[in-house]
Structure 1
């Protein structure tokens, strides 16, 4: 981290970063580490989480412009979390919390079932080499965890600039128990709550199409996936 990010971590982490029990890995979450969102945020409100929040551009903008909602940034890179805290502090976004952890473990162990109203996955690592595709986040196992975490009617929003990954995500979620499409046609319209980030600019500059997807937690699905 830069000196400024180091200072941000020292000065702001107590306010923003969730301290969670760890399993074996540094970014793991111990089973049974579930939080009470009403206790963490000090109120009962809609909760939105972003996986891979990076430097926090999207979630800080959302938190600072939607004060009636609560937000959780999930990221494994300490420097990105430090930058997010700096931006959140400047924007006075007091409804934002951060967790340094692997996203599937956050969904499985930290968040109570049906606690999220929205879950965002914007521009996840595409692992674009064929031999690395198996490392991609969005799989059938991830879809099951996302369905477990979302309240009935809650929305999973995704975006990527890699066509084959977009198609893979769509195939996975079309087949996933507990989800139904929240769009018509091939792709969802661009989510207007997503600010333009460096990842999106880079993809567009390279001539790649930006693909959005949106899936709603089906209230008719059986709980306990």
Structure 2
């Protein structure tokens, strides 16, 4: 059977993607729902999370992806690999689905978020289509446990700068590292895009943030 062709870019502002995802039943998705949760926003084919689930089985992993065919393929592969206890993929537009997805999450569970090589949307008039909007940054702060981390990376410097600056502007996040960018990936597994970019000798721009406690936080 021929492989299904999947569009590289999907407009998140399109009518098809305006319906928020339904709340998740965490007890049905994960064998141990109280394990710490790693949320990967824009997981594409899901290979990164599959490798993470093998390396760190004491975590739960949730990959969100707006290209529905990729989600179907990723969930099929996780079944074939037997990674059904701590790994799940979901089709959604994260920019309007975060609250509905995480509102029933066990408190303190969300401990790591990754946003890696998101669609750059080069044209200025398309900037609102980029995934890291100020609203997403604020919404994540509502669910991340104190001490949890957000890891960002891109091979497009302007995208990395925009993501970094939006998290840095929010009082809930503390940027880690003294330099402008992290020299190394702090996670035990690289993404396929990261490996490809580095193999060509091109730079990857990385930033790591910690969710800090805010005095008088409501």
Superposition TM-score, scaled by structure 2 size? 0.80
Alignment check: 8 A CA contact 1:27 1:101 kept: no
> 1:61 Cα shift?
0.5
Greater share of residues in helix:
1
* Range 45-54 or range 81-90, more displaced: 81-90
Mark the CA change 1:204 to 1:133 in structure 2 (over 3 Å): closer, same or farther. Answer: farther
Q: Which residue of 2 aligns with 1:19?
A: none
Q: 1:49 aligns with which of 36, 39, 47?
A: 39
Q: 2:190 aligns with which of 177, 192, 195?
A: 195
Q: 2:115 aligns with which of 103, 118, 121?
A: 121
The aligned runs of 1:34-45 (5 Å cut-off) are 34-35=23-24, 37-38=26-27, 40-43=29-32, 44-45=34-35
- Unaligned 5+ segments in structure 1 are 6-23
> 1:191 Cα shift?
2.9
Alignment check: 8 A CA contact 2:114 2:152 kept: yes
Verify: 1:82 aligned to 2:72, yes or no: yes
SS of corresponding position for 1:194: coil
User: Across the two proteins, how many residue pairs are aligned to each other?
Assistant: 202
RMSD of aligned residue pairs (Cα, Å): 2.5
The aligned runs of 1:73-152 (5 Å cut-off) are 73-94=63-84, 95-112=86-103, 114-152=108-146
Alignment check: 8 A CA contact 2:171 2:214 kept: no
Q: Which residue of 2 aligns with 1:9?
A: none
Superposition TM-score, scaled by structure 1 size? 0.78
- Unaligned 5+ segments in structure 2 are 5-14
Give the Cα separation in 1 of the matches to 2:189 and 2:215: 28
